[in-house]
């Protein structure tokens, strides 16, 4: 039986993407060779890379606006340090909204001053700080648009003169934003895009070249841009599968179409959390994520029964992260409304039984 996959990442990908990717592993474009045994410099793979890069910009509405898309390695965690290495000359600002922001802050401190413009650590990151002020003269302000572990999401981005850098690992391509307000966006592939191994970086070229330090080639955005994201052997399978997912998203009508479905899915699960007396939400209502819903059982004695019912319904991956506990339903682009309906049915069945 195919599982209803609510895993936080790596996570569900569209079935048709998995099928095409597995076919390409056996025989790529009818070449008689596998995608993963051909040269990354071959015409067929160079086309894949170019297609993936231009699709990313097209879907984000960032074509012809001075942006470049790169597929790099090292995960989003590598971007915690690459952003600072390339952009932090004297002083940066960070909004601390959870584990991933905290890790980004730790890396940035190796390169210059970090001003924490706001933090929700006081309440175990169950909300997004608001009303904070952003000091003048920052090299950039770093945000995490969606906090995968805590289930919070920034709804309104700050207006500031500082360049905006955003970790969108867990909500890229899921909701329509004016992406041109950001100067650098990064996202590990393994949520809404593809398998782990590639990280999408979308960067406005004119923010580069402002730091006075030598940057090792592999960590230098300018080097990767000058080599069309092929400075070294790219993660070919991850890039190819990301390209397939981007084609899938485009064929579905792009971000605005998927956003409608994503809203229905999250509304369904949050209304059950709010109406069912056996459950309580973790994140503050106004900051709830449309991608990761975090919740708890009010009475922990029901855990065994609930967990058994979840398993019997073929639901996978809803255990909460260890720093929050409880449950987390991750509802990325490829998860169907039907799967969310199954989870909600199990939650209401628990109430009927109870
Ligand atoms: C928001 C966010 N940022 C960064 C990361 C770290 O990504 P990676 O494991 O690709 O380094 C994650 C991982 O889940 C994440 O959710």
CATH code at position 268: 3.90.1150.10
- Probe residue for ligand 1, chosen from 11, 82, 173, 188 as the CB with the greatest number of ligand atoms within 8 Å: 188
Binding residues for L-glutamate, as ranges, are: 41
Measure Cα distances from 83 to 95, 111, 163, 177 in Å: 15, 10, 12, 21
216 with 106, same domain: the answer is yes
Quick one: CA torsion of 145, 150, 155, 160, rounded to 10 degrees?
-50
What pLDDT shows up at residue 1? Answer: 75
| 167 part of the active site | yes
296 with 240, same domain: the answer is no
**How does pLDDT run along the chain (354 residues), one tens digit per residue?**
789 999 999 999 999 999 999 999 999 999 999 999 999 999 999 999 999 999 999 999 999 999 999 999 999 999 999 999 999 999 999 999 999 999 999 999 999 999 999 999 999 999 999 999 999 999 999 999 999 999 999 999 999 999 999 999 999 999 999 999 999 999 999 999 999 999 999 999 999 999 999 999 999 999 999 999 999 999 999 999 999 999 999 999 999 999 999 999 999 999 999 999 999 999 999 999 999 999 999 999 999 999 999 999 999 999 999 999 999 999 999 999 999 999 999 999 999 987
Integer Cα distance of 341 and 24 in angstroms:
33
Q: Is 76 in the pocket of ligand 1 (CB under 6 A)?
A: yes
Integer Cα distance of 203 and 65 in angstroms:
10
What pLDDT shows up at residue 13? Answer: 97
Residue 300 burial by CB count (10 A; 0-12/13-18/19+): exposed, middle or buried?
Answer: exposed
Domain residues for 318?
254-353
What phi, psi does 264 have (nearest 5°)?
Answer: -60, -45
Please name which of 263, 176, 207 lies closest in space to residue 87, comparing C-alpha atoms.
Answer: 207
Binding residues for pyridoxal 5'-phosphate, as ranges, are: 76-77, 100, 148, 167, 190, 232-233
Residue of the CA atom closest to atom 5 of ligand 1: 76
Nearest-atom index, ligand 1, CA of 9: 14
What pLDDT shows up at residue 111? Answer: 98
Binding residues, as ranges, are: 41, 76-77, 100, 148, 167, 190, 232-233
242 with 269, same domain: the answer is no
Residue 201 lies in a domain: yes
CATH code at position 140: 3.40.640.10
Total structural domains in the chain?
A: 2
Q: Is 100 in the pocket of ligand 1 (CB under 6 A)?
A: yes
Integer Cα distance of 58 and 64 in angstroms:
9
Catalytic residue among 68, 100, 248, 287: 100
Residue 45 burial by CB count (10 A; 0-12/13-18/19+): exposed, middle or buried?
Answer: buried
Catalytic residue among 68, 139, 183, 191: 191
Residue 101 lies in a domain: yes
Could you say which of 251, 281, 316 is where a domain stops?
251
106 with 245, same domain: the answer is yes
172 with 227, same domain: the answer is yes
CA of 75 to the centre of ligand 1 (A): 7
Quick one: CA torsion of 156, 184, 67, 149, rounded to 10 degrees?
-70
């Amino acid at each position: 039986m195919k599982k209803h996959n609510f895993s936080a990442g790596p996570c569900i990908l569209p079935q048709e993407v998995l099928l095409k990717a597995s076919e390409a592993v056996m025989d790529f474009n009818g070449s008689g060779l596998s995608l993963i045994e051909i040269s990354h410099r071959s015409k067929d793979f160079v086309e894949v890379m170019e297609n993936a890069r231009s699709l990313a910009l097209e879907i984000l509405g960032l074509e012809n606006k001075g942006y470049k898309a790169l597929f790099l390695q090292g995960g989003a965690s590598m971007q915690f340090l690459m952003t600072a290495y390339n952009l932090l000359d004297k002083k940066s600002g960070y909004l601390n909204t959870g584990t991933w922001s905290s890790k980004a802050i730790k890396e940035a401190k190796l390169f210059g001053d970090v001003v924490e413009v706001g933090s929700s650590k006081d309440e175990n990151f169950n909300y997004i700080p608001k009303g904070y002020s952003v000091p003048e003269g920052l090299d950039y302000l770093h945000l995490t648009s969606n906090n995968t572990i805590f289930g919070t999401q920034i709804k309104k981005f700050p207006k500031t003169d500082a360049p905006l850098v955003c970790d969108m690992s867990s909500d890229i391509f899921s909701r329509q934003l004016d992406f041109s307000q950001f100067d650098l966006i990064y996202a590990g592939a393994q949520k809404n895009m593809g398998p782990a191994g590639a990280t999408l970086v979308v960067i406005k070229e004119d923010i580069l070249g402002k730091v006075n330090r030598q940057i090792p080639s592999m960590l230098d955005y300018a080097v990767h841009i000058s080599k069309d994201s092929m400075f070294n052997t790219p993660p070919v399978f991850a890039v190819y599968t990301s390209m397939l997912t981007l084609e899938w998203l485009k064929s579905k009508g792009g971000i605005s179409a998927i956003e409608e479905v994503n809203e229905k899915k999250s509304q369904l699960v949050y209304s059950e959390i709010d109406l069912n007396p056996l459950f309580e939400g973790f994140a503050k209502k106004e900051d709830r994520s449309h991608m990761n819903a975090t919740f708890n059982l009010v009475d922990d004695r029901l855990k065994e029964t609930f967990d058994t019912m979840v398993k019997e319904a073929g639901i996978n991956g809803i255990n909460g992260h260890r720093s929050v506990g409880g449950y987390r339903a991750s509802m990325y682009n490829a998860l169907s409304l039907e799967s969310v309906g199954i989870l909600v049915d199990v939650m209401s069945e628990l109430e009927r039984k109870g």
